[in-house]
Amino acid sequence: MTSLINKSLVKSKAKNVFSSPWAALGAWIIAILWTIPTFGLLVTSIRPEKDINNSGWWTFFVNPNISFENYQQVLFEGSTTNPPLYQFFFNSLAVTLPAVIFPITLAVFAAYALAWFEFRGRDFIFFSIFALQVIPLQLTLIPLLQLFAKGLVIGDVTIIPDFNITGTYIPIWIAHTIFGLPMAIFLLHNFLRQIPRELIEAARVDGAGWFTLFSKIVLPLSVPAIASFAIFQFLWVWNDLLVGLTFGGGAKEVAPMTIRLAEMVGTRGSGWELLTAGAFVSIVVPLIVFFSLQRYFVRGLLAGSVKG
């Protein structure tokens, strides 16, 4: 688990109040305190149902009974009204992949245009996109949903027809794409601006068109920035509840795991054996992504932290 945080090694050893063992101890105590709730969930999820309901999870260490029955049950056993959780797991994947790929592609394009095309109104457009980050999701939900359900008709003129896509992934993909764009364009623009002007001009002089320039030079150079934003958008979409609830149209066939879990908490408030196992299934994917790509995530976080 490397981290950019290791920079402190290079730093001089100026002592401060906390550079004592006490500071380390304090930090460790907070870190452990921060981890206990998640740890308790994990431990509970691998205990038999009877144990979970009759003793605290901390007694597991004196009485270690391990059972994967909870996972088996929550993942693979559905009911007449509810499919098993593994279907929702795949729904989450099917929601997330395009909802990461689409906005990044469009954002790299727009960032390239705003960084390197010279035209009147460029600064205005860039600033407007930056300002759009102010708009909270909630402000757009109702009209956007109506747009997907009915199309856009002003007077008698149909501007956007009704594509009849309610209850499919398409509205969720489009919604996530739209909501992700302002921040993605902003971050990638800042990155693409840093490509040396000489590099771009040299390629132009050599006769590279704007499209070749993009695919041969700009795109390969922007991979690190794309990676940073991709992790951000991945976590955002995978963990989202609001967009899925609103734009999924309530269809179980497209609902991501967060929706199913939220439903399970509501209807079976006491089924801890299923809730803990289900919750762990849903957080294990972002945790893997997080721990393996933490450096990129932190970089993205430091580059811009306001998200609409």
List the one residue from 185, 192, 225, 230 that touches another protein (CB under 8 A). 185
Q: What is the contact mask toward another protein in residues 5 to 44, using x (rule: CB under 8 A)?
A: xxxxx-xxxxxxxxx---xx-xxx-xxx-xxxxx-xx--x
Is position 197 an interface residue for another protein (rule: CB under 8 A)?
no
3-state secondary structure of 154: strand
Tokens at 93, concatenated: 């994947």
Pairwise CA distance, residues 83 & 60, whole Å? 31
- One-letter amino acid at 56 equals G
Confirm if 160 and 151 have CB atoms less than 8 A apart. yes
Please report, as residue ranges, which positions from 250 to 269 form the binding site for another protein (by CB under 8 A): 251, 253-254, 258, 261-262, 265-266
Is position 91 an interface residue for another protein (rule: CB under 8 A)?
yes
Pairwise CA distance, residues 126 & 111, whole Å? 9
Q: What is the contact mask toward another protein in residues 71 to 90, using x (rule: CB under 8 A)?
A: -------x----xx-xx--x
Is position 228 an interface residue for another protein (rule: CB under 8 A)?
no
Is position 60 an interface residue for another protein (rule: CB under 8 A)?
no
Q: In this complex, which beta carbon is closest to another protein, that of residue 69 or of residue 133? A: 133
Please report, as residue ranges, which positions from 279 to 298 form the binding site for another protein (by CB under 8 A): 279, 282-283, 286-287, 289-291, 294, 298
Pairwise CA distance, residues 180 & 104, whole Å? 8
Is position 239 an interface residue for another protein (rule: CB under 8 A)?
yes
In b/e form, how buried is each residue of 63-100, taking b as 16+ CB within 10 angstroms?
eeeebeebbebbbeeeeeeeeebebbbebbeebbebbb
User: For residue 136, what are the contacts with CB-CB under 8 A and spacing of at least 6?
Assistant: 308
Q: In this complex, which beta carbon is closest to another protein, that of residue 69 or of residue 101? A: 101
List the one residue from 48, 49, 101, 221 that touches another protein (CB under 8 A). 101
Please report, as residue ranges, which positions from 162 to 181 form the binding site for another protein (by CB under 8 A): 163-165, 167-170, 173-175, 177-179, 181
The 8-class DSSP code of residue 169 comes to: S
Tokens at 184, concatenated: 């993605």
Rounded least distance, CB 105 to another protein, Å: 7
List the one residue from 61, 123, 157, 305 that touches another protein (CB under 8 A). 305
